[in-house]
Structure 1
């Protein structure tokens, strides 16, 4: 029978139908049904069923289980089934169950023929499945199991083509404080938690919605307009429980989220641009916040991007100018130091720091600017010394972004050494970190600078989350108290509390053997109060505004100055 089937017209028709080009498993199944119907009589088939059982894997995030019927002669009476099992390339099995017509006993030749045809059927199923899996792999982020950017853009293209894009809202979100996970669990467990997080977000969505991973812990999603509020709420408070043999923890994840409606979208890139602009606006508001796209926000973001694009050419052209604000001894009214501050002279206009420092801070270029200011300050000190003039210790601000930098102390020492000045002329002013874990890094930096004879101070003390822990763990020389803690001379609710807190801070810092600087001091009344409570140094408009180098030199020669 095998030779007869191999060369007859029915077998040719069988192979032609079986091997038609198809894209999906369902289409392949339909062709197998048609192909078997052609040869069923010759093979004495009563019924043929299959069962597919594939395990969970990275390429099959949910595994796969299918059962189906490929042929049935509808006579209702069948012989005993014979089972043929094939092992799938990625694990699991595909089992075919062949029931003969009633009272038929297959010969060895007939069984061999069935096996040959079933293997052909399996190969076709396997080919279609692997093509589908390959397409899935190409469109899936393998680390999390959700869509990748290419799949996301294809989805957008489909909604544009069908005129449905305006019915969607786009979300660009970063999981808030996900780095905390890796402080609780090893990195491999962090990967599992990220995958579970992505899976939970994916389960929130409908079949006609999508979430994709952009990289790291950044995601983007398209959801229906009418569901945007509920999805936004869930993303801000997603609870995930994780357990290992050693420990267990429930995480409550928020997110920094940019949200955009999608009216007037003409191209897929417009969706991503709108999402990115909204997300950047959310980041500027602060971690864990939400921002909605608007043309006004877009203009501000474009302005910020313009600043970043102009930064390096401006730095090379020495458009950044160092100003100096004196620090004055409270008891003598004499200059005892200064702070180097930067201004940007661009196209004849002086740009204040508030308009460019935050953008450079977020983008990371602020580190290069800090070194530039340090070098300009050292150059100024060298010039004064060469002229035989006195110069006080000048503090230079270093962003918290430097905590991520290798060999920071060595780089600072190299800049100072380039100008051959004593290390005591420079003080490095750090900004209080909001991250408790950074205290260890900051402490190493402070100790390293101290060993080189370079003093350190902390800026904006009191504005962070763990100020007391910071001064406990980091051995700074000077504590600069934020101006928000200085009680105003007018009466206002909470003034007594402010006074108690300020006096307590000054007293604590003094007992720790450190000096205190009050910044932002503007009035004589505030100055008198600072003298009364024992603050060491003041900095503010009550004595001096920040001034260019030439004016600062005049001020240094003056030395003493009455308060304004």
Structure 2
């Protein structure tokens, strides 16, 4: 072997350390470096085989063989020698070198030692590139599911957009329905495995050229052909997944809430996320299991909802929310025996109905702040009334079911009332019956905690949900408010007799259970007469008054309702 001059050693490393943007470029640079060695060592062919083990970034593992150098494909080659180097993550790199078939069919010991010395340097170069590629893949992969990250998704959209390859394709954003059941049943680590299974099952339903990414939690986004949407929505709307945990097989059934839109007209990669996000927000508002397609009308509605949310906190600070009071009237003598505090939003001179903002704040979560605000204002009103020498009365304040997840709820309510030195009996917390909330244990704890502090509770809209009787049985509320839909109509209709029987039975049941009862939504004198005959004692409705601003309510307390009925 001819000695390798230092100048050629420098040249070898100059080629080896050239920057390369990908595997082909780095391989080419390595080939040039090996060509320098081939001037002094009879190298015919060099190839590297990289074997990488399975992991979250490589679910199937990887094996790739790369030709680094070949002097002449027509040349005959001698016996190979191999250098195997272990990789830190458990794989290995095998570099195989074959000499030119001259007089000697194999490398000399000196040639082999020199080759292996330089091949190790080539391995380090490839190892660095592999780590860079692995890091890039990590940045482009959601580690919990193995699907693309949001950043990789946007890169995918950008590439397809530049290729004009998004015609007749749609983007879908979905939330898995019922996944919270998995987290209740399994540990978080096991739940992550189920999420991995779900994501990859969905990926398998897509075309190979499609892209799916996880946005966080149990939210995903994917792009596919528009023609496949019906099939995908039907499949994912009732999706069954079998999972084995501790030797037992469990079947999970998942639904979805989704928003989608066409990608035909998008201009920027971020437009894809904007379209499906708007549609998804509309679907979530519509209800679990809904699927909504993006349109200008949908966008306007979502923007209106977002406007309510963004305006809420500044409006609360500015005192734009005003408390009105609707009297509760005792039928025996038409006296005002209480009231319900109801909030209105006075924005830029316009009075906004609760129906326009309460459901939005309920869904978003800000309703809890508004409830405390109303409680505070009601306490201030009662304090002013007592300080002026007037007789106080019991006022009910609505509290959302959202408060059920709140820690120290009873103490927080008590703290507000005590801040104004009020007798606790002057306040009542009103909770609305809800078909999607049946955590009776938390409800019982709240009602019992308030009762121990002398604060009454009432259930609003009784009969409108699916659990009314269970709620009365399990939760000992003081007052039950009967929804207006249970009051039989004045006109004759086929089901009227049945409605009368049900209503009268309900009144008698409440009396036997020793529950106070308030009938809401009473509007006419004939309804009032009917309720009196049925044995109802307290009513609330337009027959007496709409919800009144504070000053009007004070005047009503002075003059009463002797003229009604």
TM band (smaller chain): 0.7 to 0.9
Q: CA deviation at 1:37?
A: 7.4
SS state of the match for residue 299, structure 1? helix
Change (3 A) 1:40 1:364: same
Change (3 A) 1:20 1:233: farther
In the alignment, is residue 208 of structure 1 matched against residue 209 of structure 2?
A: yes
Change (3 A) 1:532 1:47: farther
Distance in 1 between residues matched to 2:494 and 2:218, nearest whole Å:
43
Q: CA deviation at 1:152?
A: 1.9
Number of residue equivalences: 562
Change (3 A) 1:121 1:4: same
CA contact (8 A) 1:543 1:561 kept: no
Q: CA deviation at 1:452?
A: 0.9
In the alignment, is residue 315 of structure 1 matched against residue 316 of structure 2?
A: yes
In structure 1, what is the equivalent of residue 164 of structure 2?
A: 163
SS state of the match for residue 337, structure 1? strand
Q: CA deviation at 1:428?
A: 0.6
Distance in 2 between residues matched to 1:61 and 1:562, nearest whole Å:
80
Pick from 58, 61, 77 the counterpart of residue 60 of structure 1.
58
CA RMSD between the two structures: 3.3
Distance in 1 between residues matched to 2:317 and 2:28, nearest whole Å:
69
Change (3 A) 1:86 1:490: farther
In structure 1, what is the equivalent of residue 431 of structure 2?
A: 430
State the Cα deviation string for residues 405-450 of structure 1 (Å, max 9, x = none): 2222222112111211111010011223445563332222222211
Q: CA deviation at 1:171?
A: 1.6
TM-score (norm 1): 0.88
Change (3 A) 1:267 1:119: same
CA contact (8 A) 2:371 2:399 kept: yes
Note the 1:425-464 alignment, pairs <5 A: 425-435=426-436, 438-464=439-465
Q: CA deviation at 1:374?
A: 1.0
Note the 1:11-160 alignment, pairs <5 A: 20-25=18-23, 28=26, 50-67=48-65, 82-97=81-96, 104-160=105-161
Q: CA deviation at 1:492?
A: 4.6
Change (3 A) 1:306 1:32: same
Note the 1:518-533 alignment, pairs <5 A: 518-531=519-532, 533=534
Distance in 2 between residues matched to 1:271 and 1:153, nearest whole Å:
8
In structure 1, what is the equivalent of residue 3 of structure 2?
A: 4
Q: CA deviation at 1:529?
A: 4.7
Note the 1:377-526 alignment, pairs <5 A: 377-435=378-436, 438-492=439-493, 498=499, 502=503, 505-526=506-527
Change (3 A) 1:536 1:185: farther
Distance in 1 between residues matched to 2:44 and 2:474, nearest whole Å:
81
Change (3 A) 1:497 1:112: farther
Q: Return 119-128 or 76-85, whichever deviates more.
A: 76-85
SS state of the match for residue 517, structure 2? strand
SS state of the match for residue 104, structure 1? coil
Change (3 A) 1:185 1:450: same
Distance in 1 between residues matched to 2:190 and 2:333, nearest whole Å:
59
SS state of the match for residue 83, structure 2? strand
In structure 1, what is the equivalent of residue 181 of structure 2?
A: 180
Distance in 1 between residues matched to 2:80 and 2:36, nearest whole Å:
20
Q: CA deviation at 1:36?
A: 5.9
In structure 2, what is the equivalent of residue 236 of structure 1?
A: 237
In the alignment, is residue 334 of structure 1 matched against residue 335 of structure 2?
A: yes
SS state of the match for residue 220, structure 2? strand
Distance in 1 between residues matched to 2:168 and 2:5, nearest whole Å:
56
Change (3 A) 1:560 1:354: same
Q: CA deviation at 1:50?
A: 4.8
Distance in 2 between residues matched to 1:434 and 1:273, nearest whole Å:
32
Q: CA deviation at 1:78?
A: 7.9
CA contact (8 A) 1:170 1:259 kept: yes
State the Cα deviation string for residues 370-400 of structure 1 (Å, max 9, x = none): 1111111112212222233223211001112
Q: CA deviation at 1:455?
A: 0.7
Change (3 A) 1:234 1:21: farther
Distance in 2 between residues matched to 1:402 and 1:246, nearest whole Å:
39
Q: Return 22-31 or 110-119, whichever deviates more.
A: 22-31
Q: Where does structure 2 lack aligned partners over 5 or more consecutive residues?
A: none
Q: Return 39-48 or 516-525, whichever deviates more.
A: 39-48
CA contact (8 A) 1:24 1:129 kept: no
Q: CA deviation at 1:128?
A: 2.2
TM-score (norm 2): 0.88
State the Cα deviation string for residues 490-540 of structure 1 (Å, max 9, x = none): 455655665565555545544443233332233445445544555553322
SS state of the match for residue 173, structure 2? strand
In structure 2, what is the equivalent of residue 304 of structure 1?
A: 305
Distance in 2 between residues matched to 1:185 and 1:226, nearest whole Å:
37
Q: CA deviation at 1:60?
A: 2.6
Distance in 1 between residues matched to 2:3 and 2:282, nearest whole Å:
74
Q: Return 98-107 or 362-371, whichever deviates more.
A: 98-107
Distance in 1 between residues matched to 2:380 and 2:403, nearest whole Å:
22
CA contact (8 A) 1:391 1:556 kept: no
Q: Return 526-535 or 89-98, whichever deviates more.
A: 526-535
SS state of the match for residue 3, structure 2? helix
SS state of the match for residue 341, structure 1? strand
Q: Return 481-490 or 368-377, whichever deviates more.
A: 481-490
State the Cα deviation string for residues 230-255 of structure 1 (Å, max 9, x = none): 33333322222222106542222222
Q: CA deviation at 1:479?
A: 2.3
Distance in 1 between residues matched to 2:530 and 2:76, nearest whole Å:
103
Distance in 1 between residues matched to 2:119 and 2:260, nearest whole Å:
53
Q: Return 549-558 or 391-400, whichever deviates more.
A: 549-558
Change (3 A) 1:496 1:63: farther
Distance in 1 between residues matched to 2:170 and 2:284, nearest whole Å:
19
Q: CA deviation at 1:341?
A: 0.5
Q: Return 309-318 or 350-359, whichever deviates more.
A: 309-318
